[in-house]
Each structure stands twice: as C-alpha cells, then as structure tokens.
Amino acid sequence: MKKAAMISNANKCIMKIIIIVAVAAAIFAVSAPAVFAAGDLAAAASDAGDSGSLRLIASSPQKGSTDLQSQNVGIKLYFSGNVTSKSVRKVNEECFEFTYKSGSKTKKLPVKAYFGIKPSENNYILAIVDTAKLKGNMLANNKKYQLSISGDLMSSDGKRLGSDATLGFTTVDQSGSTKIYMLLMVAMIGAMIAMTIYENKRKEKAAAEVAAKGGKVNPYKLAKEKKISVKEAMDLIERDRKRRLKRLGIEGGKDEVSAAAEAEKPRDTKKVKAPRPISAAGSDYKTGRAAIAERRAKAALEKYNKQQAAKKKVSRSGNSSSKNRNKRRK
C-alpha cells in the first residue's frame, strides 16, 4: 500500500516537473531576445568613449539580425557621444527613417525617438516604429526592413554622424515559434493523457482489491489507503457490488470471495433448496419472535371474546326491559 502511494506521488511530481519545464521553455522562447539585448546595452555603455567624432557604436537588435519582433518594434541605438541633450533633441528626432519594400515601391513607417533619461544613458536613443497603419498593427513575418539614420544626427558638443547609417533587419519567422509552442502543447497533452491512464489503472486495481476483500468495505478507510476521495471510494464499492450481482445473476455461480467462504464452511453443513420452518423437522421450539406473536394473537382473541360477551349481555338486558314494559301496559 505504501509502495503504491509512493509511486502515485512520484508520478505527480513528474507531471509537475514536465509542466514547469514546458512553461519555462515557452517563457525563454519569448524573452530570449530581450535578455540578449540587455547584454548589448552593457557592452555599448562600456565602449561609449570619445574617439574624436560621433559614431554609432551598437544597436539592439544588431545590424543584419533575423530576430526583429513583429509587434512592439523598438530598436536601441548607442552612440559615442551625448545625443540626448535638450539642445540637440529636436534635430535628432528627425534623423530616423524606417522603410520596407512593397513590390517595386519603397514604403515608409513613422519613427518616434525616445532619449535616455539617466546621465549614464546620454548616448542612448530608442527608435520606436509606429505600426498602427499596418494590417494587424504588426510587421510581416520573415520580411526585410531597414532603419536609416541621417548623417545630421549630432551630439551636444556639435559633432555630427557625418554620413548616413543604414541598419537592415529581418522579422522573426513566427512559424518556427508556432512549431515550438505546438510541440510543447503536444508534450503537455501527452503527459496529461499518460497521467489519466495511470489514474484509471490505479482505480481499477483498487476496485480489484475491494472485490478480493469481499463483504462490507469502509469507504473512508479505503479512500485513505488508496489516496483517493471518499466519493471515488464509494463509486468503487458500488461498481464492485453491481459487478458481483451481475456475475451471480448471469453465470449462476459464485464469485471468488463467495467460493472461498464456501470452502471454509464445516464439512457437516447441509444444503437445502429453500428455507423451512423448524417445526418441519419435528421440533416444538419457538423462537422469541414466534412466542411474542403467539401471545399477541392470544391477547387479541381474549379481548375480542370479552367484547362479544359484553355485547350479548347488553342485548339480553335490553330485551328483558322491553318485555316488562309490555306486561305493564296490558
């Protein structure tokens, strides 16, 4: 019994581990680009030194990357000088352009520049692409886009980028992510089916043990032993009872428990076709219930006889009174 409980607990733990791993994998698949982007930010901050001219140090996603998100499109840009000063913000806001090819035409999307707030972020600009006019408010999957930075971009000390900078990106192929999610979903469903099959087998085994015990079974004790609810235990007992009755009614024989009980009876036990009263064997012994029934019948008969005698007495007195009245009238 303890071994079955330990196996049940082990399987539950395995199920929990599978679910946790699946959820963690899904979260990692979604958040991995953001995690690596944080690493790019630290690298850019360490490289942001003054080399004599304003230059683009790094971007996140990196130039030529194929993991640009289709929604909430934001590109982080890191420069070698202070590009967030209020004196240059107005000029720098107009230095970004996001384009893509639609057939033979080149189309543009609005770009909003957000500047770093902290002193340590004065070399940082976040370019947010406005996708409100696109279908589904998102970029197309597995499609090439381009961010252009004007050479007029300048730092607070008057240094300019000089020449235009172009960064090419390709959006994430969502079909690959969908396949990963589908595999995870299939794995979770498979684990749930396996656990369901295991639970059904465990309940069937518990039902077989109930049948082997025979007689009345305490559902509370059974539920505690099998680590199941009281309702499940009652259902097991009821199913076993119906199965026993059906087997006895159809096959006309006895189940294993009844056969075992029959074998344990003393050898001098006699079998009869039908119940018979003890008087049929010549005995005058009366059981307690028979004696009580006989006393009640005798008392009822005596009561009835007294009532009949009283009625006759009243009737006789009435007849004698009527005769006396008739004599007086004569």
Mean pLDDT, the chain, integer: 77
Distances in Å between the Cα of 21 and the Cα atoms of 18, 25, 150, 176, 261 are 5, 6, 46, 19, 53
Confidence of residue 39 (pLDDT cuts 50, 70, 90): very low
pLDDT, residue 208, reads 64
Q: Taking every pair of C-alpha atoms in the chain, what is the biggest distance, in angstroms?
A: 166
Domain boundary assignment for the chain: 1-32+174-254, 48-172
With bands split at pLDDT 50, 70 and 90, how would you rate the model's confidence at 79? very high
Model confidence at 326: pLDDT above 90: no
Q: What are phi and psi of 130, to 5 degrees?
A: -85, 115
Asked whether residue 91 carries a pLDDT value surpassing 80, the answer given is yes
155 — pLDDT class (breaks 50, 70, 90): very high
Q: What is the pLDDT of residue 252?
A: 43
Cβ 74 vs Cβ 109: under 8 Å:
no
How far is Cα of residue 209 from the mean position of the Cα atoms in its chain?
A: 29
Q: How confident is the model at residue 15 (pLDDT cuts 50, 70, 90)?
A: low
Straight-line distance from the first to the last Cα atom of the chain, in angstroms, rounded to the nearest whole number = 106
Q: What is the mean pLDDT of residues 4-20?
A: 61
CATH fold of 48-172 = Immunoglobulin-like (2.60.40)
Report the pLDDT averaged over residues 190-217: 74
How high is the pLDDT of residue 41? 45
Q: Residue 180 pLDDT > 90, yes or no?
A: no
Task: Judge whether residue 53 has pLDDT over 90.
Answer: no
Q: What is the pLDDT of residue 173?
A: 77
Question: What pLDDT was estimated at residue 327?
Answer: 63
Q: Which residue has the tokens 């119940």?
A: 275
Among 158-162, 227-231, 256-260, 294-298, the minimum mean pLDDT is found in: 256-260
Q: What is the mean pLDDT of residues 259-269?
A: 57
**Nearest Cα to Cα of residue 182 among 71, 67, 68, 25:** 25
